């Protein structure tokens, strides 16, 4: 299949669409309406979009990603009112969260209506609903009929794409069109909160933290314990969270402890890898970068800058692949606030390999 790259002007990224770009978005919307798939930017990561109300389109999404079909898709809408057609019983708390955080990087799990096919929700009787803030995404969803199922636009198991070049790498030849709309500002997938239980629970941490959610709902909102504990026997309730994910091709290990101990441990491991003939890489904060002897050093930003680290994480993981690094060591991050999401993704990328020094 030929894949068309639909490039939009810089102004369109701010939501000021010129006539030419509007026509491109209408055309992309038509592709989705007719049952095809289009990759598009959001404020978190690029999505792979198809008509959420068409079971055949959902099947195509699973196929293009190589994803198990028991892993449900998030349905993207362009305005909050559209939720009423796909979800029944919208709790008061969901309205409150919508008021505070939407459009934005928060996905809510609600009881679904019959209009949403089982293929889209992986057979569940709930539906995950997301109203993104990215204006290109919203314009496309509108043109596509209002309901777009979209997982991250990566091959299953790979880091989610935050830049169009990585969408092209994974999806070229598999789908009819990719919209190039620049980089996602947040860089990690949306927070998912299950609104069908009381109290609601976070199934996937993200930029909207449990503290922020607790603040609005006036009660303590926790993260699903199966998401936090690697050794939990209980499966996570967002089915996608059980799979190994976000992984670079090289072997990634997190080294945790105080700075000096971490640096000397990593340098020791690098020396060993060198003797074994491996190309080595380190993911470090800006301040420590020049203290490592690795072949490739990637910087996550100033120490403690969670936004910078989240924004860069997936691109850095993929860039180790671009440079064919086979042994990667990462410094650890604090799990406070947005850090819970960063550590969640990093631990999964590392297959929970952590060395504590």
- Note whether 152 binds Mg ion by CB under 5 A: yes
Q: What does the chain come to in residues?
A: 357
Kindly tell me which residue out of 3, 69, 71, 100 binds ligand TXA, with binding defined by CB under 6 A: 71
User: To the nearest whole angstrom, how small is the minimum distance from the Cβ of residue 29 to ligand TXA?
Assistant: 17
DSSP state of 240: G
Residue 344 interaction partner, one of ligand TXA, Mg ion, none, beta carbon < 5-8 Å per kind:
none
CA nearest 108: which of 186, 236, 140, 99?
99
- Note whether 25 binds ligand TXA by CB under 6 A: no
Please, are residues 149 and 76 in contact by the beta-carbon 8 Å criterion?
Answer: yes
Judged by beta carbon, residue 80 or residue 243, the one nearer Mg ion is 243
Residue 354: C-alpha distances to residues 32, 188, 225, 254, 295 (Å): 42, 21, 19, 5, 21
Q: Which stretch binds ligand TXA (CB under 6 A): 4-12, 40-48, 211-219, 225-233?
A: 40-48
Kindly tell me which residue out of 141, 178, 192, 296 binds ligand TXA, with binding defined by CB under 6 A: 192
- Note whether 344 binds Mg ion by CB under 5 A: no
Residue 190 interaction partner, one of ligand TXA, Mg ion, none, beta carbon < 5-8 Å per kind:
ligand TXA
User: To the nearest whole angstrom, how small is the minimum distance from the Cβ of residue 106 to ligand TXA?
Assistant: 9
- The H or E element spanning position 316 is helix 306-322
Question: How far apart (Å, rounded) are the C-alpha atoms in residues 148 and 60?
Answer: 13
Q: Pull the structure tokens for residue 220.
A: 């303590």
Task: List, edge to edge, every strand of the sheet that includes 251-256.
Answer: 296-299, 280-284, 327-331, 251-256, 354-356
Residues 244-273 within binding reach of ligand TXA (CB under 6 A): none
Angle at 77 between CA 72 and CA 81, to 5 degrees: 120
Q: Pull the structure tokens for residue 77.
A: 């809408």
Residues 90-149 within binding reach of ligand TXA (CB under 6 A): 107, 109, 121, 124, 126-128, 130
Q: Which residues bind Mg ion (CB under 5 A)?
A: 152
Q: Which residues bind ligand TXA (CB under 6 A)?
A: 42, 44-45, 47, 71-74, 107, 109, 121, 124, 126-128, 130, 150-152, 189-190, 192, 203-204, 237-241
């Amino acid at each position: 299949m030929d894949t068309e790259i639909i490039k939009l002007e810089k102004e369109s990224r701010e939501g000021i669409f010129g006539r030419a770009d509007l026509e491109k978005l209408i055309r992309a919307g038509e592709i989705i309406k007719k049952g095809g798939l289009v990759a598009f930017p959001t404020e978190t990561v690029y999505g792979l979009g198809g008509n959420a109300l068409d079971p055949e389109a959902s099947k195509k999404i699973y196929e293009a990603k190589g994803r198990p079909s028991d892993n449900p898709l998030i349905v993207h809408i362009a305005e909050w009112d559209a939720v009423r057609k796909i979800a029944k019983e919208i709790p008061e708390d969901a309205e409150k969260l919508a008021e505070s955080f939407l459009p934005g990087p928060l996905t809510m799990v609600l009881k679904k209506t019959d209009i949403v096919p089982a293929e889209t929700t992986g057979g569940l009787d709930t539906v995950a609903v997301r109203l993104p803030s990215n204006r290109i995404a919203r314009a496309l969803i509108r043109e596509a009929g209002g309901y777009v199922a979209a997982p991250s636009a990566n091959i299953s198991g790979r880091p989610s794409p935050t830049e169009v070049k990585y969408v092209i790498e994974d999806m070229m030849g598999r789908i009819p069109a990719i919209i190039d709309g620049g980089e996602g500002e947040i860089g990690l997938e949306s927070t998912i909160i299950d609104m069908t239980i009381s109290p609601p629970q976070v199934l996937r941490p993200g930029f909207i933290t449990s503290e922020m959610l607790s603040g609005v709902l006036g009660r303590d909102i926790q993260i699903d314990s199966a998401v936090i504990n690697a050794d939990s026997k209980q499966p996570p309730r967002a089915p996608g969270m059980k799979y190994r994910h976000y992984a670079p091709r090289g072997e990634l290990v997190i080294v945790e402890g105080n700075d000096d101990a971490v640096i000397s441990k990593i340098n020791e491991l690098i020396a060993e890898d060198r003797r074994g003939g491996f190309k080595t890489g380190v993911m470090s904060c800006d301040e420590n970068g020049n203290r490592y002897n690795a072949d490739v050093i990637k910087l996550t930003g100033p120490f403690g800058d969670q936004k910078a680290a989240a924004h860069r994480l997936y691109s850095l993981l993929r860039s180790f692949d671009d440079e064919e690094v086979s042994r990667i060591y990462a410094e650890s991050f604090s799990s406070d606030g947005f850090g819970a999401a960063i550590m969640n993704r990093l631990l999964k990328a590392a297959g929970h390999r952590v060395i504590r020094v």
